[in-house]
C-alpha cells in the first residue's frame, strides 16, 4: 500500500503514513541512542546480577552490560562468572542496545552491528543470514551466493529485505561503505581516550530513509530545502545514480509547522492516551505496566450487525487492526496481553487470530503471537527497540506516580466537587484528562455514589465542633486547587518544550495539590463564627405557612426582605399573626434539628449573602446534599 514519509529534521522526528494515518514514528533524541558506539571503561562488575556497569562518559549514569552480551569483550573463551570475564578499568568497545529509561542507564552490548541500506555488517559475527521477509527462493539463492562471496573474513553479514531485487553493484557498494565505517571506529578506539562516543547515526534523514524507505513510498515531505536535496541524493545513490521513480519529494513550505500540518503531533498526543476508539463504536484500552502491556477490547454501544456473534467478531477484528497499528506507533515492546471480547465459536476465534496475524505482518519489530490462553487472552511478544512513545513524549505524573489514581481515604482530603465533574481527580481507569473532559458521564457515576455514601458521615459531623472549619477548608482547597492547576497548564504550555503533552495531560487531572499546606490555613479561618454577633429576629407566619416551610425545608428568614451576614448566627422566632414577640417555646434557633438547619442553608442559596471575601456560598454543596438526604429520611 502507498506510504508517505514526513520528516521534521529540526525535531528529529519522522512519521510514516499509510491509509492516511500515522503508522510509525522515527525519533532520535537523548544523549545515548540505539546504535551509538562508545569506547567505555568498566566501572564495576556485579556478580550478583551477572552484569557490569560501564562508564561511557555520562556523569549521571553508567551503561549496563549483561554477561550474555559481552561478545568479544570476554577475557576468557570459557564460560564463567562475569568477574572472570571482565575486570574493572578494562576499556571496552560497546554499542547501545536499548536507550536509557527513567533512571536506568543505556543497555550495552559488545556484539557490534553496523546497519547499511542493504546489509548489516557484524564485525564480530559469523556467517551469512538473510531476512526472512525475502520470500522468493531464486532471489534468496542469488543474495546468499553474493553475500558469501563478498563477506569479509571473520565477520558476519545479514542481508536486509531491502536488498531484494537490487543490483550486485549497489549491494557491494553498501558493504564497502560499512567496512570503511568499521575501520574508522577501530582506528578511533586505539587513538581516543576513553570514555568517548566513537560513532553515531548523525544524519537523521539517512537513518529515516534507511529504516523506512521502501518501494511503496510515493511521497516524502521534508521541512528544509537542504533536507530535500539530501533525500534525493540518498535515493539516487541507492538506485545506481538514477533519479528515483514513483516518489514525490516535497519541501514543506506552509506557514504551519510540518508536524502540526500533517497532524503528527496530534497523533502523538492521542497515542499517549489509554483509550483508542474503533471505527464502529468499540474501543480499546492500552495499559502499559513495568512487566507487560495489557490491552482490553470493549464493544461500546455498537450495533452494526444483526447478531451479537457477528458484532463481537467485527469489533474484535477492528480492534486487532488497531492494536497492530498502536503497537508500532507506540513502539510497545516485550510481552503484550490482549483481552478480546469473548467468542464461543472456535471458527470465529480462528478467523480473529488469522486477521490479527495478518495485521501484525507489516511490523518490522516482528510481533509473534505466543498463545491463546485458556482464558481467551492472546499473548504476544514484540521486540524492544528504541524508546516507546511514553518514554519519548510522556512524563510520569509526580502526584500519582503514573498510576492515574490519587489516594482519597475516608475522612481525609477534599470532598468531591460535584459542580466540576470533568476535572475532579477521580479514581478512574484513565490517565487522560482530555478524555474525561470529553466524556464525563461514565466517570461521574461512581464519585457521585461515593459522595452519597459519605453523607451519613457528614450528618454526624453536623454538631461536631470542627464541622464549620471542615466545610470551609474543603471549599478553600477546592478553589485554590482549581486555580492552581490552571496556572500549571499555562506555565507548562509556555515553556516551549517540544512535548508539553504529557505534562499538560497530567496536570489537568491531578488537581490535587499539596494537602499539608492547605490544612495549615484552616485554624486561621475557623474563628469566623464567633466573630459574627448573634442576631434575633422574629417572623410572622400562619400555622399553615409554618407547616409548608417546615415541609419544604425553607427558612422563615426568606420572609424578611433583607440580607444576613451569617444566617447561622440568626435566631429566628416564628410567631402567628398578631402574636407577641417573646414566646420562647415557639422559637426556632440554630443549631436545630436537621430540617431547620437545612432551612437556614436554603437562604444561602436563594439570597445573595455577602461576606467580603466572597466565599460565603461555600457550604452549599454539603448542605444541599444534607437536605436531600433529610428528605429521603
Return d(Cα 488, Cα 485) in angstroms, integer. Answer: 5
Instruction: Compute the C-alpha angle 573/576/578, nearest 5°.
Output: 110
518-551 residues labelled b (16+ CB within 10 A) or e (exposed): beeebeeebeeeeeeeeeeebbebeeebbeebbe
Return d(Cα 180, Cα 125) in angstroms, integer. Answer: 17
Q: Check: CB of residue 246 under 8 Å from CB of residue 280.
A: no
Q: Closest approach of Cβ 521 to Zn ion, in Å?
A: 24
Q: Check: CB of residue 24 under 8 Å from CB of residue 15.
A: yes
Nearer to Zn ion, 339 or 506 (CB): 506
Region binding Zn ion by CB under 5 A among candidate stretches 225-233, 506-514, 578-586, 601-609: 506-514
Region binding Zn ion by CB under 5 A among candidate stretches 63-71, 444-452, 507-515, 569-577: 507-515
Nearer to Zn ion, 112 or 397 (CB): 397
Nearer to Zn ion, 177 or 486 (CB): 486
Nearer to Zn ion, 367 or 394 (CB): 394
Binding residue (CB under 5 A) for Zn ion from 158, 209, 397, 472: 397
Q: Closest approach of Cβ 430 to Zn ion, in Å?
A: 11
Q: Is 486 exposed, middle or buried (0-12, 13-18, 19+ CB in 10 A)?
A: middle
Q: Could you give the 3-state DSSP secondary structure of residue 462?
A: coil
* Contact track, Zn ion, 341-380, x by CB under 5 A: ----------------------------------------
Of 86, 105, 106, 89, the residue nearest 97 (C-alpha): 106
510 interacts with Zn ion by CB under 5 A = yes
85 interacts with Zn ion by CB under 5 A = no
159 CB-near residues (< 8 Å, 6+ apart): 118, 119, 128, 129, 130, 131, 134, 143, 144, 147, 171
Nearer to Zn ion, 227 or 404 (CB): 404
Nearer to Zn ion, 182 or 393 (CB): 393
Nearer to Zn ion, 336 or 397 (CB): 397
Nearer to Zn ion, 472 or 507 (CB): 507
Compute CA 455 distance to the chain's CA centroid, rounded to the nearest angstrom. Answer: 35
Nearer to Zn ion, 398 or 612 (CB): 398
Q: Closest approach of Cβ 291 to Zn ion, in Å?
A: 20
Nearer to Zn ion, 164 or 506 (CB): 506
Region binding Zn ion by CB under 5 A among candidate stretches 33-41, 63-71, 398-406, 543-551: 398-406
Count residues binding Zn ion (CB under 5 A).
5
Q: Closest approach of Cβ 503 to Zn ion, in Å?
A: 11
175 CB-near residues (< 8 Å, 6+ apart): 116, 119, 121, 150, 152, 157
Return d(Cα 472, Cα 169) in angstroms, integer. Answer: 81
Q: Closest approach of Cβ 209 to Zn ion, in Å?
A: 39
108 interacts with Zn ion by CB under 5 A = no
Q: Check: CB of residue 133 under 8 Å from CB of residue 103.
A: no
548 membership: H or E segment, kind and range: helix 543-552
Return d(Cα 213, Cα 215) in angstroms, integer. Answer: 7
Q: Are strands 217-222 and 196-199 parallel, antiparallel or unpaired?
A: unpaired
Q: Check: CB of residue 246 under 8 Å from CB of residue 26.
A: no
Q: Closest approach of Cβ 319 to Zn ion, in Å?
A: 27
Nearer to Zn ion, 237 or 428 (CB): 428
Q: Closest approach of Cβ 405 to Zn ion, in Å?
A: 8
Q: Closest approach of Cβ 330 to Zn ion, in Å?
A: 19
Binders of Zn ion in range 588-627 (CB under 5 A)? none
Q: Could you give the 3-state DSSP secondary structure of residue 126?
A: coil
Region binding Zn ion by CB under 5 A among candidate stretches 57-65, 128-136, 288-296, 498-506: 498-506
Name the residue whose CB lies closest to Zn ion.
397
Binding residue (CB under 5 A) for Zn ion from 25, 400, 511, 557: 400
Return d(Cα 111, Cα 522) in angstroms, integer. Answer: 63
Q: What sign does the CA torsion over 605, 611, 615, 619 have?
A: negative
Nearer to Zn ion, 7 or 397 (CB): 397
Q: Closest approach of Cβ 491 to Zn ion, in Å?
A: 17
Q: Closest approach of Cβ 516 to Zn ion, in Å?
A: 18
Q: Closest approach of Cβ 399 to Zn ion, in Å?
A: 5
Nearer to Zn ion, 469 or 506 (CB): 506
Region binding Zn ion by CB under 5 A among candidate stretches 5-13, 399-407, 525-533, 563-571: 399-407
Return d(Cα 544, Cα 556) in angstroms, integer. Answer: 13
Region binding Zn ion by CB under 5 A among candidate stretches 266-274, 391-399, 516-524, 579-587: 391-399
Question: In the structure grid, which three cell numbers stand for residue 125, read together?
Answer: 559475527
Binders of Zn ion in range 253-282 (CB under 5 A)? none
Give the total residue count for the chain: 633
DSSP 15: E
Residues that bind Zn ion (CB under 5 A): 397, 399-400, 506, 510
Amino acid at each position: 500500500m502507498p506510504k508517505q514519509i514526513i520528516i521534521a529534521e529540526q525535531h528529529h522526528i519522522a512519521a510514516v503514513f499509510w491509509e492516511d494515518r500515522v503508522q510509525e514514528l522515527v525519533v532520535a533524541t537523548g544523549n545515548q541512542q540505539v546504535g551509538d558506539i562508545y569506547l567505555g571503561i568498566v566501572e564495576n562488575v556485579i556478580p550478583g546480577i551477572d552484569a557490569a556497569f560501564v562508564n561511557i562518559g555520562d556523569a549521571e549514569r553508567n551503561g549496563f552490560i549483561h554477561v550474555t552480551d559481552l561478545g568479544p569483550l570476554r577475557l576468557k573463551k570459557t564460560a564463567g562468572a562475569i568477574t572472570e570475564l571482565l575486570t574493572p578499568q578494562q576499556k571496552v568497545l560497546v554499542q547501545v542496545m536499548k536507550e536509557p529509561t527513567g533512571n536506568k542507564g543505556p543497555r550495552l552490548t559488545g556484539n557490534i552491528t553496523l546497519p547499511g541500506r542493504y546489509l548489516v555488517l557484524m564485525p564480530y559475527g559469523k556467517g551469512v543470514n538473510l531476512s526472512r521477509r525475502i520470500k522468493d527462493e531464486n532471489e534468496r539463492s542469488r543474495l546468499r551466493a553474493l553475500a558469501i562471496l563478498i563477506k569479509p573474513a571473520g565477520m558476519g553479514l545479514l542481508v536486509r529485505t531491502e536488498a531484494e531485487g537490487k543490483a550486485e553493484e549497489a549491494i557491494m557498494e553498501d558493504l564497502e561503505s560499512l567496512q570503511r565505517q568499521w575501520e574508522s571506529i577501530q582506528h578511533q578506539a586505539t587513538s581516543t581516550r576513553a570514555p568517548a562516543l566513537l560513532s553515531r547515526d548523525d544524519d537523521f534523514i539517512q537513518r529515516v530513509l534507511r529504516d523506512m524507505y521502501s518501494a511503496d513510498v510515493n511521497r516524502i515531505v521534508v521541512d528544509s530545502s537542504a533536507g530535500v536535496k539530501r533525500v534525493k541524493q540518498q535515493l539516487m545513490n541507492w538506485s545506481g545514480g538514477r533519479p528515483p521513480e514513483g516518489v514525490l519529494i516535497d519541501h514543506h513550505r506552509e506557514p504551519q509547522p510540518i508536524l502540526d500540518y500533517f497532524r503528527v503531533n496530534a497523533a502523538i498526543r492521542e497515542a499517549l492516551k489509554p483509550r483508542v476508539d474503533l471505527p464502529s463504536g468499540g474501543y480499546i484500552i492500552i495499559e502499559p505496566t513495568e512487566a507487560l502491556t495489557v490491552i482490553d477490547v470493549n464493544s461500546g454501544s455498537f450495533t452494526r450487525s444483526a447478531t451479537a456473534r457477528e458484532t463481537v467478531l467485527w469489533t474484535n477484528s477492528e480492534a486487532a487492526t488497531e492494536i497492530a497499528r498502536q503497537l508500532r506507533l507506540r513502539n510497545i515492546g516485550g510481552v503484550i496481553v490482549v483481552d478480546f471480547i469473548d467468542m464461543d465459536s472456535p471458527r470465529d476465534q480462528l478467523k480473529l487470530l488469522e486477521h490479527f496475524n495478518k495485521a501484525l505482518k507489516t511490523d518490522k519489530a516482528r510481533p509473534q503471537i505466543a498463545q491463546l490462553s485458556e482464558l481467551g487472552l492472546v499473548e504476544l511478544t514484540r521486540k524492544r527497540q528504541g524508546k516507546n512513545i511514553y518514554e519519548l513524549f510522556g512524563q510520569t505524573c509526580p502526584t500519582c506516580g503514573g498510576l492515574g489514581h490519587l489516594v482519597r481515604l475516608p475522612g481525609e482530603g477534599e470532598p468531591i466537587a460535584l459542580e466540576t465533574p470533568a476535572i475532579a481527580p477521580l479514581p478512574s481507569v484513565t490517565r487522560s484528562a482530555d478524555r474525561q473532559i470529553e466524556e464525563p458521564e461514565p466517570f461521574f457515576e461512581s464519585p457521585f455514589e461515593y459522595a452519597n455514601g459519605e453523607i451519613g458521615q457528614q450528618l454526624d459531623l453536623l454538631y461536631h465542633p470542627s464541622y464549620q472549619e471542615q466545610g470551609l477548608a474543603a471549599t478553600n482547597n477546592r478553589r485554590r486547587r482549581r486555580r492552581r492547576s490552571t496556572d500549571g497548564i499555562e506555565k507548562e504550555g509556555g515553556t516551549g518544550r517540544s512535548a508539553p503533552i504529557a505534562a499538560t495531560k497530567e496536570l489537568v487531572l491531578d488537581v490535587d495539590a499539596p494537602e499539608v499546606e492547605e490544612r495549615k490555613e484552616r485554624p486561621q479561618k475557623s474563628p469566623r463564627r464567633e466573630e459574627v454577633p448573634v442576631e434575633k429576629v422574629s417572623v410572622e407566619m400562619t400555622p399553615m405557612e409554618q407547616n409548608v416551610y417546615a415541609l419544604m425545608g425553607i427558612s422563615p428568614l426568606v420572609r424578611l426582605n433583607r440580607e444576613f451576614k451569617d444566617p447561622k448566627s440568626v435566631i429566628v422566632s416564628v410567631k402567628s399573626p398578631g402574636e407577641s414577640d417573646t414566646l420562647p417555646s415557639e422559637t426556632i434557633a440554630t443549631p436545630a434539628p436537621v430540617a431547620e438547619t437545612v432551612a437556614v442553608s436554603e437562604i444561602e442559596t436563594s439570597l445573595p449573602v455577602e461576606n467580603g471575601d466572597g466565599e460565603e456560598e461555600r457550604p452549599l454543596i454539603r448542605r444541599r446534599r444534607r437536605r436531600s438526604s433529610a428528605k429521603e429520611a
